[in-house]
Structure 1
Amino acid sequence: MKKATSALTALAGVVMVAFAVSVFYVPNKIVSGGVSGLSTIMFYTAGIPTSVTYAAVNILLALIGIWVLGKGFILKSFVCSMILSGFIELFSWLPPITDNILLAAVFGGVVYGFGIGLAFSQNASTGGTDILGRLFQHFFPHMPIGKLLLIIDGTVILTSLFVFRDMELILFGIVALMVSSFAIDYLIRKLNISKLAFVITNKGNDVARYLISTSTRGVTVFDVTGAYSNEKKTMLMCAIKEREMPAFQKKIEELDAHAFTIFSESQQIVGNGFHVYR
């Protein structure tokens, strides 16, 4: 079930990227960098279908990246990139959503960025410069993937200036690139955000046993003293996902209606039961 969910999530990301390229970028000559930008250039200069350029470039990069990133990531990326090429060809038959280049750059960037972010969250990619970004991240692990792609894609955008010789198109491409880079980092950061729950209660042992028996999350128990009342109590600390908050609070209220609960946001939790998205 978990593998199926992961595959569907990666597929959703691939479909979003293909949609953005086919109905936003290519019809409006937006070069936002990467293989999508290169494909747009090849389409307008040599008449090569976007899907063909995507497939050819990704095959080449897959052969290079397999030595550094390993077969697991590359195989998933290669499969995703081939599926992406197919969806780009399919969506190329759709009419463009807008001929307003600014709207295409902004909304295309959002859809494109979220699509890449979803693929990354499942340890896959849409291929192309995503693989190059992963290669750079392998050597510079503390640098956000969105920033790495910004550098790589920026180079492609500047190159396109010599092809279209239209500074406005370049500026719109930069807008699309900035929006998609922000969308990638935003999604990955959002997926990593979790909650720390602090529960102060007179029924610490009962609540702790109940939480452990009815969920997969661990609980840490502290003995605390109220400064004002000087009353001895128990504080429970539990790391949970944001979507688990309502059920967690309901469990607490069932055992101790007078419990004092604090939810604090955590940017990232590393350890058993929590996956770090990069």
Structure 2
Amino acid sequence: MTIGSSTILRGIKEYLLITLGIVIYTVGWAIFLTPNNLIGGGVSGISAIIQYATGIKMGYSYFVINTVLLIISVIIIGPAFGAKTVYAIILASVCLNVFQAIIPETIIQDFALSNGKLMCSIIGGSMAGVGIGMSISQGGSTGGTDIIAMIITKFRNISPGRIILTIDVFIIASSLLFPSFGADGQAIPFDAKFSIAVYGMIIVTVNGYVVDLYLSGSKQSVQLFILSRHYEEIADMIAKDFHRGVTVLNGEGWYTKKPASVLMVITRKTDLNLLLRSIKRVDSDAFLSISSVSGVYGQGFDSIKGAKKS
């Protein structure tokens, strides 16, 4: 496979995962949150407040508000991130309106309204977290506070979920200041709005936790030590097919008293199964040791973030 075709396939995969994340994110809103007049964080939370107060569908205000943040993200993070964010914001804006219109009322009644606000807060918040996590992991964004989170994490080692949670608390609290009307057109009293705000805190807490959980899983790395008589062939295969660096360590087998070459490789956990199968095809008798690593920084992995020296 050529470098060009590999890049194209990787780009297609990234956009497909961003698309799936957006669908999960917006379906969570359409089924579990909006029908219960629940409010989440970020621009989607602001858009929900606007919809409950004015009747303007979430997708419209979501798109308008995110345009400003989109411009900021292009300037600070770069055009590649901006292109993916444009795609994610447009898709989310459309899906927020479309899913609210096409999802049958019976599904909403069976899955959301009949299960209570607490259950819907947990499920909707979890779905939103998974969607945001999938988008961020591919270099995109669902807009709103996760754009701010990506900007901050570019310079600081702070978890995106914690940043999102801090900002979203203020959005949830601000919902108490605005009028809110249910699907029947009746105004929601303040005591009910206070309860909704509490549920909103649950939503953003679950959301932030799931984002961190997803990102830590997708970025988890493993370290392999490989002992094989065909170490050169295995090293070439890893470098060519997986685009990972390989370190050759010179050792000695204590039992055989013969020199041995050991390969050390660090790769993403998501690539581990495919890598093991590839090694087995080269040498089914290869000896492997696998361990998890808490952090990997450098080319091909995470960068060390910190304030730039003046």
**TM bracket (short chain):** 0.7 to 0.9
For residues 159-210 of structure 1, the C-alpha deviation after alignment (integer angstroms, 9 at most, x for no partner) is 1133363332112111111111111111111111122111235x2xx22323
CA distance in 1, matches of 2:218, 2:84: 20
- Given that 2:235 and 2:263 are in contact with CA atoms closer than 8 Å, whether structure 1 keeps it comes out as no
Cα pair distance change 1:240/1:105, threshold 3 Å: same
The alignment's TM-score, normalised by the length of structure 2, stands at 0.78
CA distance in 1, matches of 2:277, 2:56: 58
The alignment's TM-score, normalised by the length of structure 1, stands at 0.86
- Unmatched 5+ stretches in structure 1: none
Partner of residue 209, structure 1: 233
Partner of residue 148, structure 1: 163
CA distance in 2, matches of 1:16, 1:242: 24
Partner of residue 98, structure 1: 112
**2:147 paired with 1:131:** yes
* Residue number among 30, 40, 44 corresponding to 2:48 in the alignment: 40
- The number of equivalent residue pairs is 273
What secondary structure is seen at the aligned counterpart in 1 of 2:260?
A: strand
- Unmatched 5+ stretches in structure 2: 1-8, 181-189, 306-310
Partner of residue 123, structure 2: 107
**2:224 paired with 1:219:** no
For residues 79-103 of structure 1, the C-alpha deviation after alignment (integer angstroms, 9 at most, x for no partner) is 3212211111110021323122111
Cα pair distance change 1:229/1:89, threshold 3 Å: same
* Residue number among 76, 98, 116 corresponding to 1:68 in the alignment: 76
What secondary structure is seen at the aligned counterpart in 1 of 2:140?
A: coil
For residues 220-255 of structure 1, the C-alpha deviation after alignment (integer angstroms, 9 at most, x for no partner) is 222234567766433221223334434544555566
For residues 38-75 of structure 1, the C-alpha deviation after alignment (integer angstroms, 9 at most, x for no partner) is 12211121111111111221123334444433343234
**2:30 paired with 1:22:** yes
Identity of aligned residues (%): 25
**2:65 paired with 1:57:** yes
Which range is displaced more, 174-183 or 121-130? 121-130
For residues 113-154 of structure 1, the C-alpha deviation after alignment (integer angstroms, 9 at most, x for no partner) is 11111111222111122223334445x521111111111111
Matches within 5 A, 1:249-264: 249-250=276-277, 252=279, 259-264=286-291
- Given that 2:225 and 2:290 are in contact with CA atoms closer than 8 Å, whether structure 1 keeps it comes out as yes
* Residue number among 138, 142, 151 corresponding to 1:122 in the alignment: 138
Supply the AA of the counterpart residue of 1:207: Y
What secondary structure is seen at the aligned counterpart in 2 of 1:90?
A: helix
Partner of residue 183, structure 1: 210
CA distance in 2, matches of 1:66, 1:75: 8
Cα pair distance change 1:259/1:105, threshold 3 Å: same
